[in-house]
A and B are shown apart, each in its own frame.
Chain A
Amino acid sequence: MGAHSTPAIDLVEIRKAYGRTPVLSGVSLPVESGEFIAVLGPSGCGKTTLLRIIAGLTPLDAGAVFFHGERVDRLPAHHRRVGFVFQSYALFPHMTVVENVSFGVRHRQNGRSPVGAMLELVGLTTEAHKFPHQLSGGQQQRVALARALAIQPAVLLLDEPFSNLDLKLRQAMRLEVRRVHDQLGMTTVLVTHDQTEALTMADRVVLMTNGVIMQTGTPVDVYQRPANRFVADFVGDANFLSGIVETPIAVDRARIVLDGAAAALEARGAAPVAAGERVTVMVRPEHVSLDRSEPGGINGSVVRQVFMGAVVRCWVEIGEGVRVIVDAPGGGQPQWPTGAPVQIKVDPERLWYLRQ
């Protein structure tokens, strides 16, 4: 991120309330030109409102929106030149595919219309004269995308665009949209409640809850180095164990004794902690391993296990009511009989403490 380049979209202290219910409480977010941003959060967190504010479909109460340094929050939607893909696709039912795609195209670029190119880009050239209801869900999705792109927008905004598709199609469309993005270098903001979608598609993920941004970072950041428990919990599966800091090592490192464990373990975190401080330690199920006789591990017993294909998910009780979820490699069948004593071992690089 170049410090001097002007962001393609800059949201400054956006506030919005419906009646007395605050929806956005001071959201600031710069988006770099060509960047693919995913805004991720549970439903009702304000993410769709944020997207509609960028597009000019919903007025804001306070704050400012800039496109390439130019203030646009007083500009009506039809003057903003944003490509918007709606959750319902919002394809005009009384127009054919080609009519839909050309709806916003007024000026021909270099003497030729971008409509044909867009249809080609999404692979719908042969369906050009069909009506939306004659298309499959995936095809409708492509038309919505082509229509948004045909106006050669300054930014592309996607509001839960894949939520009406089945799993296989959703996966294919994610790749396709990302491919189109890479091909056109279009600044893109995707709103989704699906963490897999956010992690697989975006350059940067913005986590929101209750109208506030909880963390902004690369997919690896938010997955491995969550800023707080909400992020850790919302993105991926996680074990949360409580413990006490034995010795701080660095601003982002400390030795921590987990409750019920004999030895201290080294963990990393986002902020410095003091000796004796109570912390929560997070570890992902796939970063825990199981062994019968690993020295230095934590003793426990397998209480339940489920075969999940690539892995076997085991619930290991390591103390009174303290269970750790472990994803062990699935060797075709369960390897650990229920009740068997085991030792669990965690990769210290993957232990992540969170201040309480």
Chain B
Amino acid sequence: MKVLVAVKRVVDYNVKVRAKADGSDVDLNNVKMAINPFCEIGVEEAVRLKEAGTASEVIAVSVGDKSCQEQIRTALALGADRGIQVETDGNVEPLVVAKLLKGVVDKEEPALVILGKQSIDGDNNQTGQMLAALAGMGQGTFASEVAIDGDKVKVTREVDGGLQTVSLNLPAVVTTDLRLNEPRYASLPNIMKAKKKPLDVYTPEDLGVTVTTHLTQLKVKPPAERQAGIKVESVDELVDKLKNEAKVIS
């Protein structure tokens, strides 16, 4: 069984991103880039399926300009077998990414596609669901457990108030949540080996997709600041303030 895992190049999660002073865009000059944390969990899950003998091949795919090959190499160092880059000018919208991934799915015919539930830049939480819709596949979003069961996959999902388990016909789409697994670190020998693994590049035209723009970012601004309040000296003072000043407890 072939597993396709999508990875996105994003600002490292430790970087505090700010809006530019003129509000034109976020300031991404000289910031550290990394694989999106949820995508990393996706790669780990795919590699574990291969190590368990369930998956025969793991393909890492990314959509973006040439720099995203770095994140594909990271996925290869973590254990993916080969990579695919779909070449676009910078970031494209989730709907277009989903169409491009659908093109890759049509070429590769994986039994399972794993994506992160959202990327930590746009915070859209859309691409996996959109891909599933376009490919006519079932979806197990926000997964905390994935179990292949013959021609089906059982996915335990993080939902409001608890967990839900669904059974999906394969091929299917899974999007990862935090508790699915804890990704490994790539070893130096594996990083070296990853440089020699195959990496194909497609254009949107190769996949029969036209890149369209549906949403335009007009401006950005910092979030409303909250003023710091006061420090209280004791629990007694805290209780007094909450009762008599804020009046939020009685």
Bound together: no
| Interface residues, chain B, with chain A CB atoms under 8 Å away | none
Q: Which residues of A contact B (CB under 8 A)?
A: none
